[in-house]
A and B are shown apart, each in its own frame.
Chain A
Amino acid sequence: MIAEKQASQAVAEILGHYKKEKKNLIPLLQEVQTKLGYLPRKALQEIADFLEMPEVEVWGVATFYNQFRFVPLGKYHTVVCMGTACHLAGGRLILEALERELSIKVGETAEDGNFSLERVACIGCCMLAPVVVIKDKIHPKMTPFKVEEALIPYKQEAQGELKEGKSKSKS
């Protein structure tokens, strides 16, 4: 996670490119989220101050749209498609399998910050349904069993780094 001070600096820099117009609210939120990965409370305050709007109004807009997130994403952000084609091809089973395998519910980020799980409605590759996207890689034609397999390399990577980190801190 980016430290608070750095985050504020990044937000200030983005604000510098915009005019103080209310119509810029959504583009601002989008750009800040792209930069920071999510919308921290403090950034929302800073945007509200900049646009001279009540903070609650900024919060109202940000929470209305599906795109905005208020907790940081995991390192391996996992997206499960729950669009029509994926649902009909068994999307619910895939979602359940992911929740089971990752021990988190949809919309959550795991405590260790490795995995987060999100549902979306159609990513436009319905011919490959049901689809899961792990860290931007599309995994087509999933089954509950294949979900387990697909997660293994990421889980191993996460564990490997954990061990590496520990041995480093020892030496």
Chain B
Amino acid sequence: MTFEEISNKAKSEWEALQRGSYILIGTATCGRAAGALDVVDAFKKGLTRQGLDVLIIQVGCMGLCYAEPLVTISKPGSLRVVYSNVTPEIVPRLVEGYVAGDDPCLELALGTLEGGGGEAVYIPELPRFEYELRLILRCCGYSNPENINHYIANGGYSGLEKALKISPEKIIGELKKSGLRGRGGAGFPAHLKWELCRKAGGTPKYVICNADEGDPGAFMDRVVLESDPHQVIEGMIIAGYAIGAEQGYIYVRAEYPLAIERIQIALKQARKLGFLGDNILGGDFGFHIEIAAGAGAFVSGEATALVAAMEGRRSEPRPRPPRLSEAGLWNKPTLLNNVKTFAFVPLIIERGGNWFASIGTEGSKGTAMFTLAGKVANVGLAEVPMGTTLSKLVYDIGGGIAKDKEFKAVQIGGPSGGCLPESLLNIPIDYDSLREAGSMMGSGGMIVMDENNCMVDAARFFIDFSTKESCGKCTMCRLGTLQMLRILEDITAGRGGIDDIALLLALAEDVKAGSLCGLGQTAPNPVLTTMRYFRDEYEAHILEKRCPARVCPELTVYYILPDKCDRACEHCILTCPTKAIKGDKGEVKIIDQVKCSKCGTCLEVCPPEYNAVVKLSPVSLLPASKLSERKAGK
């Protein structure tokens, strides 16, 4: 079949679909965690009961993770309505109401996909979409990731078709015009890497897609692979053609079983239609892609370590040069890019480098994709033009801080990134501004922290992660980070001295200078930024033995306010896991500070009308009698 025939067939299938009714249910990992598969079952049962024959399509993630499970009901000639937080219990209503009947059940809806002006929210007019620009995410959640025809009908593989008709030099030229920089963290210009690989001597050459995504709290790459995997595959094929490679690998972490499954399906379908194989689209160029499953090590995401893992070794980074473009997999020229970097390529070829370069800022082109997590109201995924400010992401797209708490910091770039305070919320998101602020773009994980998060504890958390994930090759990374961890543990436990701050700073510089790869070179960033922007919290821990957020267990105590305690209620006594609460019937309840494990259960179960349990820091705030009891216990 020619591309035109393939494309026409896909389009007619898509159009036929639009002429009928269908139900989209988001079943990416996030949807499943929220119970989407039960919703699928409920729909199947509901449709059978009504004797309806309506197509259910399992789609990926729309990026509105806070609203999962999400269901879209589409009927010819009526509104497409999106329902959020759907449970199996409300499914019969939706089936009877809108699938079978004419009542769109708008009171259960998040909004509609067309119309506007009516009584329901018009989703494209939600405030967040004013700031978002969805390129990679454009079809995520609307098309079936397990059906290649949905991708083709929406313009897929036409970039490849175009690419194969022009020369590799011209493709790299378009990339250069586009200004695309790698989305894996470091922001290396894509065209330079491709050019180096093209010119490198030695065959065969390899293309590898880095889908290791080890940042604990980021999941964009997973969403792309689960929701619209063909973009990545198409980008890799174009890369193969441009650099002269015939073999590609997708290195994906084993913790992403659904992504692996959906890539496998996508590869199979692409082979069947002749987009992969020996003679792609009937021409001379051949390209093959296989999956390599990672085995769970953060450092495996580093370029040279990833190659070591693929060769069956411990994934320890090696010094560069030589670059992978000279000596990569099996010592052959290798092109390694991130999932999103490849996903942009088909669009750039199709619409031109200048189009891409018109989006974003001087030094950072195109869009950036972020996962918003932590204490933000609308947890999920967002894609915005580079240069959008942090505050737009946190407030306009993320909906601000959940539960009306006070904003404290936003952490960008995971264990290699930094924590930025409110005063920096107006900086634009691009590679250079973030680096100047002491953070980095990283993979695109963004975690929002509120007044209840302790910044010293956050720094301790990230250093703990880096210590555990250090491969151990460089002494400063292996032992320097451990030493930093010990100091931070001391500070959070109230054993820190004021000299520790200078010591931490000195160690941080040494770890940066003495490490071979990005892991060690960036591991001190969370500590450095918290010390730079939240020095007062370090000082409070050290000088006053006080944890301002009341998080650090050694510096915090739970206390039951005698005049608020109801006396008759025994919720806390009955639930305390260490039996630390005493008090006879009708008496005020008292926490035995020696037995207390600081789990917070009493605070959680104390009925809101009493609200008698409080957390205090420093410990010396405890009324004197309780304090002496505590000391005696020790």
Tell me how far the C-beta of A75 lies from the nearest C-beta in chain B, rounded to whole angstroms: 21
Cα distance, A67 to B256, chains bound together (Å): 12
CB neighbours (8 Å) of B32 from chain A are: 138
Are B374 and A97 closer than 8 Å at their CB atoms? Answer: no
Interface centre among A60, A61, A100 (most CB of B within 10 A): A61
Residue from A25, A67, A129 within 8 A of B373 (CB atoms) = A129
Tell me how far the C-beta of B215 lies from the nearest C-beta in chain A, rounded to whole angstroms: 8
CB neighbours (8 Å) of B601 from chain A are: 143-145
Give the contacts of B286-324 with A (CB-CB under 8 A): 292-293, 295-298, 300, 309-315
Cα distance, A148 to B599, chains bound together (Å): 12
Are A84 and B295 closer than 8 Å at their CB atoms? Answer: no
Tell me how far the C-beta of B175 lies from the nearest C-beta in chain A, rounded to whole angstroms: 30
Answer whether residue B364 sits at the interface, using C-beta atoms and an 8 A cutoff.
no
Cα distance, A120 to B253, chains bound together (Å): 13
Give 1 or 0 for each of B413-450: 1 = CB within 8 Å of chain A CB.
01000000000000000000000000000000101010
Q: How many positions in chain A have a CB within 8 Å of any CB in the partner chain?
A: 46
CB neighbours (8 Å) of B296 from chain A are: 65-67
Are A23 and B604 closer than 8 Å at their CB atoms? Answer: no
Give the contacts of A51-98 with B (CB-CB under 8 A): 60-61, 64-68, 82-85, 87-90, 93, 96-97
Are A65 and B311 closer than 8 Å at their CB atoms? Answer: no
Cα distance, A23 to B605, chains bound together (Å): 54
Answer whether residue A165 sits at the interface, using C-beta atoms and an 8 A cutoff.
no
Given the known interface contacts A30-B295, A67-B295, A68-B295, the answer about A124 and B599 at a Cβ–Cβ threshold of 8 Å is no
Give the contacts of A8-26 with B (CB-CB under 8 A): 21-26
Q: How many positions in chain B have a CB within 8 Å of any CB in the partner chain?
A: 59
Answer whether residue B52 sits at the interface, using C-beta atoms and an 8 A cutoff.
no
Answer whether residue B33 sits at the interface, using C-beta atoms and an 8 A cutoff.
yes
Cα distance, A23 to B32, chains bound together (Å): 34
Are B217 and A84 closer than 8 Å at their CB atoms? Answer: yes
Are A85 and B447 closer than 8 Å at their CB atoms? Answer: yes
Answer whether residue B577 sits at the interface, using C-beta atoms and an 8 A cutoff.
yes
Answer whether residue B338 sits at the interface, using C-beta atoms and an 8 A cutoff.
no
Cα distance, A90 to B380, chains bound together (Å): 20
Are B33 and A138 closer than 8 Å at their CB atoms? Answer: yes
Are A61 and B219 closer than 8 Å at their CB atoms? Answer: no
CB neighbours (8 Å) of A88 from chain B are: 374-375, 447, 449, 453, 458
Answer whether residue B3 sits at the interface, using C-beta atoms and an 8 A cutoff.
no
Cα distance, A148 to B309, chains bound together (Å): 40
Are A148 and B34 closer than 8 Å at their CB atoms? Answer: no
Cα distance, A45 to B462, chains bound together (Å): 36
CB neighbours (8 Å) of B33 from chain A are: 125, 128, 131, 138, 140
Closest B residue to A85 by beta carbon equals B373
Answer whether residue B216 sits at the interface, using C-beta atoms and an 8 A cutoff.
yes
Cα distance, A29 to B295, chains bound together (Å): 9
Answer whether residue B371 sits at the interface, using C-beta atoms and an 8 A cutoff.
yes
Answer whether residue B261 sits at the interface, using C-beta atoms and an 8 A cutoff.
no
Are A85 and B374 closer than 8 Å at their CB atoms? Answer: yes
Answer whether residue A3 sits at the interface, using C-beta atoms and an 8 A cutoff.
no
Given the known interface contacts A65-B296, A145-B604, the answer about A122 and B216 at a Cβ–Cβ threshold of 8 Å is yes
CB neighbours (8 Å) of A26 from chain B are: 293, 295, 309, 312
Residue from A30, A61, A128, A148 within 8 A of B293 (CB atoms) = A30
Are B312 and A61 closer than 8 Å at their CB atoms? Answer: yes
CB neighbours (8 Å) of B68 from chain A are: 127
Residue from B300, B373, B453, B578 within 8 A of A126 (CB atoms) = B373
Are B314 and A23 closer than 8 Å at their CB atoms? Answer: no
Are A96 and B447 closer than 8 Å at their CB atoms? Answer: no
Interface centre among A89, A100, A125, A128 (most CB of B within 10 A): A125
Are A90 and B447 closer than 8 Å at their CB atoms? Answer: no
Answer whether residue B541 sits at the interface, using C-beta atoms and an 8 A cutoff.
no
Closest A residue to B462 by beta carbon equals A84
Tell me how far the C-beta of A101 lies from the nearest C-beta in chain B, rounded to whole angstroms: 8
Given the known interface contacts A68-B295, A84-B217, A84-B445, the answer about A93 and B600 at a Cβ–Cβ threshold of 8 Å is yes
Residue from A21, A67, A100, A127 within 8 A of B379 (CB atoms) = A127
Tell me how far the C-beta of B458 lies from the nearest C-beta in chain A, rounded to whole angstroms: 7
Cα distance, A165 to B344, chains bound together (Å): 59
Are B312 and A122 closer than 8 Å at their CB atoms? Answer: no
Are A84 and B447 closer than 8 Å at their CB atoms? Answer: yes
26 contacts between A and B (CB under 8 A): A26-B309, A61-B312, A64-B471, A65-B315, A83-B217, A84-B216, A85-B217, A88-B447, A96-B597, A100-B577, A121-B465, A122-B216, A122-B218, A122-B219, A123-B255, A124-B30, A124-B219, A124-B222, A125-B29, A125-B33, A126-B219, A126-B373, A127-B30, A127-B68, A143-B601, A145-B601
- Which residues of chain B have a CB within 8 Å of any CB of chain A? 29-30, 32-34, 65-66, 68, 214-219, 222, 254-256, 292-293, 295-298, 300, 309-315, 371, 373-375, 379-380, 411, 414, 445, 447, 449, 453, 458, 461-462, 465, 471, 575, 577-578, 597-601, 604-605
Closest 5 CB pairs of A and B: A84-B217, A65-B295, A121-B216, A127-B379, A83-B216
Known: A101-B577, A145-B601. 4 other contacts (CB 8 A): A88-B453, A121-B465, A129-B373, A144-B601
